[in-house]
Amino acid sequence: MIVFKGSDPDHIFEILLEAEVDVRDVTEEEGNIVIYTEPTDLHKGIAALKAAGITEFSTTELEMIAQSEVELSPEDLEIFEGLVDALEDDDDVQKVYHNVANL
Domains and CATH numbers, the chain: 2-60 (3.30.70.980), 66-103 (no CATH)
Is residue 67 scored above 90 in pLDDT? no
Q: What is the H or E stretch that residue 33 is in?
A: strand 32-37
| pLDDT given at position 64 | 85
Shortest CA distance to 48 belongs to which of 35, 61, 59? 35
Whether this model's pTM surpasses 0.75: no
Is residue 100 scored above 90 in pLDDT? yes
